[in-house]
Amino acid sequence: MAFNLIQAGTSLYTVNAKGGISAALTLPTGVTLSANRVPRFARFGRYVVVANTPSRPLSVDDQGTVRPLTPLPPTSTPVLATENGGALSGRFLVKQTFVFLDAAGNTIAESDFGPIPTNAQLISADYLRVTNLALSTDTSAISATRLYRTTKGPGSVYFQWATIDGNTQTRFRDDLPDEQLALLAAPSLGSAPDLTLIAEWQGRLWGVSRTQPDNLRFTEAGTAYAWSELNTLPLPKVGDDRFGITAIVPRRGVLGIGRQNRLVQVTGNTQTSIRPTGVIENCGILSQESVATYRDLVFFLWRDGVYQWAGSDVVSISHRAGVDSWFQTNNYFNQAMFSQAFAVFDHARTAYRLYLCSAGQTTFDRWIEYSLKTEKFYGPHKTTAFTPSCAINIRGVADRLYPMIGSRDGYISQDTPERSDWGFAPIPMVVTMAGHDGDGERVEKYFGQVTVHTDKETTGTLKVNTTVESPEDEDSTVAMTHDLTVGSERLDRIGVGKSATVQFENNELNQPVTLYGYEIAPVSNIGTR
């Protein structure tokens, strides 16, 4: 069953397809969430992984059960001995792990191996006895202890030997012969580090440790819990800045890795073939939250604007759209807050939506949109209903994605089809048309009546303000109103002047306005003074 996961304050909640929010989920014993960091999520199978805010990375299943991403490994060394009555002979070593199992007995997660005895135990036609088995401190989640054993000889390769249900037994004995051990050697395991970034790509989890921000970490194939320290990829250029890796961006064929001053891509699907290659220098990703992906297109914010990564090309779409001044000056937005900007992709409208702080502000009170259909930017937009704090996609009915806005007040809001600021206030519409100067700006003219053409609505009034430059070089304004219920309407004459400008306004709650055009007639020259 599909579900959505959010963090509010220091708690996790699930959101169902109809927007219903669960009670706060129960966190594992000893695990806390930070309210001063941004939560990062990744989906792996039927689990959602949470990083950056938890004191330990977490996984959440579709029933709302929260577990550590990997159990803590055993801390004590098993004690090996021989016990009469068995039939096993040879010299053996044993190591222990803890496991989380689902109701069907499938492994959800397995800890790293605990300490291994330094001396192999020699037995002859007896049981191999193990005592001093560790008990897990993850008491509420541990399903079993798992033991791995070498073959007689002694061998150097471990195979799964036994699974002991629960978290209470500290001893075990068995005389299982070598040929009845598991067929596959013990897997590579490892504990998940304190992850700041997390993503899923090609059946692995990829992340960044808080203490090693220049290194990309990844799990063994097909697991979310086996974080071997061998699976570490240093990203160029190590130590280049204090931020390290700022974003992980999954695409179809490559994994994008952003730093603040460069973008690289990772390819390969085995430990020996995984490698990074450069995409672009002197341009990077300021924040993970500014990244939004649509199909195989990636959008992100850098210092001088919004970029699109498509194929092997990275281009500034804000430059192409002619809105450089939005990002390269402080006249519109606070550039110092770009590294905390956040975005979401609106699948319904096929648009990249980016939230920013207005000039001089440190709260996110504006957003802009880039439409893939028109290749234009729209905005800046604002709301007075609340202060946005995040933007997310919620998977709703029919498995469709809907963009939603989180607020500092602890609510999430969906776009509403009504033409209002979330029902609190009308959204002002002000449209100023280009000036009309007829045969030249020095020629005085008579501007006749204005005829306005709109859609017929059930209610509503459109303000029509006309301004002319008078013979005395002073502006003269005539205020008129158009009845939106009649569609087309002839209004008053504008007057005499060198040029005329028409402005349309509406500030009524939930009032639709569709303006088709207008006419000014007649327009006749008077002369030149």
- Is 443 a member of any domain? yes
Residue predicted with more confidence, 292 or 385: 292
For 21-30, 32-41, 45-54, 234-243, which range has the lowest pLDDT when averaged over its residues? 234-243
309 and 393 belong to one structural domain: yes
The verdict on residue 130 lying in a domain is yes
Q: Quote the pTM value.
A: 0.87
Let me know if residue 37 belongs to a domain. Answer: no
pLDDT confidence of 456, banded at 50, 70, 90?
Answer: very high
Exposure pattern of 11-47 as b/e (b: 16+ CB <10 Å)? ebbbbbbeeeeeeebebbeeeebeeeebbbbbebeeb
- For residue 519, give the H/E element and its range: strand 515-528
Residues 233, 264, single domain; the answer is yes
Cβ within 8 Å of residue 297, ≥6 positions away: 308, 309, 310, 372
Q: DSSP letters along 99-133, please?
A: EEE-TTS-EEEEPPP----SSPEEEEEEEEEEE--
Token output for 83: 């016990």
Residue 529, pLDDT score? 59
Confidence band, pLDDT 50/70/90 cuts, at residue 411: confident
- Looking at the structure, tell me whether residues 83 and 165 fall in a common domain: yes
Q: Select from 20, 40, 66 the last residue of a domain.
A: 66
Pair 273, 310 in one domain = no
Distance CA 264, CA 276 (A): 6
Lowest-confidence segment of 106-115, 359-368, 466-475 by average pLDDT: 466-475
In this predicted model, what pLDDT tens digit does every residue of 173-217 receive, in sequence order? Answer: 999 999 999 999 999 999 999 999 999 999 999 999 999 999 999
Q: Is the pLDDT of residue 249 over 80?
A: yes
> Cα dist. 231→190, 208, 402 in Å?
10, 12, 36
Q: Do residue 55 and residue 111 come from a single domain?
A: no
- 434: domain CATH number is 2.60.120
Domain assignment present for residue 88? The answer is: yes
Q: Same domain, yes or no, for 125 and 238?
A: no
pLDDT of residue 163: 96
- Measure the CA–CA gap between 75 and 113, rounded to whole angstroms: 9
pLDDT confidence of residue 412 = 86
CA–CA distance, 334 with 326 (Å, rounded to integer):
10
Q: Is the pLDDT of residue 46 over 70?
A: yes
Same domain, 151 and 99: yes
420 inside domain: no
pLDDT at residue 442, rounded to an integer: 77
Q: What residues make up the domain containing 159? A: 79-180
- Lowest average pLDDT, out of 175-184, 270-279, 411-420, goes to 411-420
- Are 59 and 145 members of one domain? no
pLDDT value at 238 more than 90: no
96, pLDDT greater than 70? yes
Site of tokens 């992980």: 248
- Together in a domain, 389 and 501: no
The answer on pLDDT for 1 being more than 60 is no
- Asked if residue 201 belongs to a domain, the reply is yes
When pLDDT is cut at 50, 70 and 90, the band that residue 472 belongs to is low
* 342: in domain: yes
Sign of the Cα torsion 302, 305, 308, 309 reads negative
Q: State the CATH number of the domain containing residue 221.
A: 2.20.25
297 and 275 in a common domain = no
Same domain for 481 and 443, yes or no, is yes
Rounded to an integer, the average pLDDT of 358-379 is 96
Instruction: Work out the pLDDT band at 415, boundaries 50, 70, 90.
Output: confident
From CA 107, how far away is CA 189, in angstroms rounded? 13
Could you tell me if 294 and 391 lie in one domain? Answer: yes
d(CA 447, CA 436): 10
Does 1 fall in a domain? Answer: yes
- Is the preceding omega at residue 380 within 30 degrees of 0, hence cis? yes
pLDDT value at 528 more than 80: no
Question: Mind giving me the DSSP string for 175-231?
Answer: ---GGGS-SSBPPP------EEEEEEETTEEEEEETTEEEEEEEPPTT-SS---TT-
pLDDT value at 28 more than 80: yes
pLDDT at 394 over 70: yes
Lowest mean pLDDT among 133-137, 319-323, 370-374, 433-437: 433-437
3 state DSSP class of 347: coil
Domain termination site, one of 180, 213, 240: 180
Domain boundary among 256, 285, 314: 285
Average pLDDT, the chain: 93
Structural domain total, the chain: 5
